[in-house]
Amino acid sequence: MTILQLKNVYKSFGKLEVIKDLSFSVEEHSVFGFIGKNGAGKTTTMKMILGFLRPDSGEIYVCGERVSYGNTKTNRHIGYLPDVPEFYGYMNPKEYLKFCGDITGLPREITLARTKELLSMVGLENTNRRIRGFSRGMKQRLGIAQALLNEPKLLICDEPTSALDPIGRKEILDILSVARTRTTIVFSTHILSDVERIADTIGVIDQGKLMLEGSVQKIKNMRRKDTIQILLSSPETAKELAEKVKELPFVIESEFEMDTVLIKLTNAEEYGKEIMSLLVRENIPVLRYEILEPSLENVFLEVVG
């Protein structure tokens, strides 16, 4: 089932065109990583999905229902975590979730049961501190609990790990990994390692245009350039090897930096043995030989660089 679908969406602010013919879809119980540099259009897109901004043209659907600007009915399907969530600082987590349940009309017993379950999931079940004393990571965790209180079919998180330390980022990603069993997740980020860890599919946006969409592995392979990295005993040996392999017909490019040589081939698995034969034939001592996997970072830099 398709939970979220955007069709040919455009959005401008004055003469500045921010979103340009944006189309993508997200399937049920998947995690979609929305990747882009700051200012690429990620937050604007999310605000249009929530009905906070009106698209200039195009259509957005949540659970098969069209999103309309303003108080859109489709938001009953959505839980939302903004990049900087705001809370009533004088409340503790239980009081805050009870308050959220009251204003959304949840029966009291359901609110209490979900509050206990969700605070346990985000690691705040034994915290009675006032929210004003929470760290950024604790606020993010409480924000996820609040966003899941109504059991939404779609959870939207805008830069959920930004400004967190490595431990805080890991905690949020672990929570989202658990949350995916109960909902569909769309999260925006510019931290590529976070995407590789939990996303099923990704969309790369640059200057309002969707540049790539698909599974992480599919996108890596689309832009794959087989590379062999060889660590040698000296810079002189590295320079000599880089010059020698340039003569081979299957070598696209070779370069060296200090004592390391990078060789780009048409097919590393097929022609790597030829490189190894050359190393043996020339009696070149090797400290490390490695076929490099394509990285999402390299793909991202190639697309948006």
Per DSSP bridges, beta strands 184-189 and 154-158 are: parallel
Same domain for 160 and 262, yes or no, is: no
Report CA-CA distances (Å) from 264 to 11, 248, 283, 291.
41, 11, 22, 10
d(CA 183, CA 46): 17
Q: Is the pLDDT of residue 110 over 90?
A: yes
Mean pLDDT of 210-233: 82
In a domain, 197, yes or no: yes
For residue 139, give every residue at least 6 positions away whose Cβ sits within 8 Å of its Cβ, in sequence order, or none: 85, 87, 131
In a domain, 11, yes or no: yes
What are the phi and psi torsion angles at 157 (to 5°)?
Answer: -125, 120
- Which has the higher per-residue pLDDT, 245 or 46? 46
CB of 42 closer than 8 Å to CB of 83: no
Structure tokens at 68: 């309309």
pLDDT band at 224 (very low <50, low <70, confident <90, very high): low
Instruction: Give the pLDDT confidence score for residue 305 in this predicted structure.
Output: 66
pLDDT band at 151 (very low <50, low <70, confident <90, very high): very high
Report which secondary-structure segment, H or E, holds 114: helix 108-121
In a domain, 133, yes or no: yes
What is the Cα 267 distance to its own chain's centre? Answer: 29
Instruction: Give the pLDDT confidence score for residue 216 in this predicted structure.
Output: 83
Give the residue from 205, 222, 239 where a domain finishes: 222
Same domain for 208 and 282, yes or no, is: no
- Top mean pLDDT of 13-27, 206-220, 225-239 is at 13-27
Same domain for 217 and 235, yes or no, is: no
What is the number of other CB atoms lying within 10 angstroms of the CB of residue 202? 25
Same domain for 214 and 233, yes or no, is: no
Instruction: Give the pLDDT confidence score for residue 72 in this predicted structure.
Output: 87
Number of domains in the chain: 2
In the chain, the amino acid numbered 158 is D
| 74-83, 181-190, 295-304: the lowest-pLDDT one | 295-304
Q: Is the pLDDT of residue 297 over 80?
A: no
Same domain for 187 and 239, yes or no, is: no
The range of the structural domain enclosing residue 242 comes to 227-295
d(CA 169, CA 199): 15
Look at the pTM and tell me if it is higher than 0.85. Answer: no
pLDDT tens digits along 193-208:
888 889 999 999 999 9
- Residue 159: exposed, middle, or buried by beta-carbon count in 10 A (0-12, 13-18, 19+)? buried
Give the residue from 200, 222, 244 where a domain finishes: 222
In a domain, 82, yes or no: yes
Same domain for 8 and 91, yes or no, is: yes
How large a percentage of the chain has pLDDT more than 90?
57
Per DSSP bridges, beta strands 2-13 and 154-158 are: unpaired
In a domain, 302, yes or no: no
Domain of residue 141, CATH code: 3.40.50.300
Q: In what order do the strands lie in the sheet with 65-66?
A: 16-27, 2-13, 57-62, 65-66
Same domain for 141 and 257, yes or no, is: no
In a domain, 139, yes or no: yes
Same domain for 194 and 113, yes or no, is: yes
Mean pLDDT of 208-236: 83
Same domain for 202 and 249, yes or no, is: no
Domain of residue 254, CATH code: 3.30.70
In a domain, 305, yes or no: no
The closest alpha carbon to 261, from 234, 233, 241, belongs to 241
Same domain for 86 and 153, yes or no, is: yes
User: Using H for helix, E for strand and C for coil, what is the string for 277-302?
Assistant: HHHHHCCCCEEEEEEECCCHHHHHHH
Report which secondary-structure segment, H or E, holds 228: strand 227-232
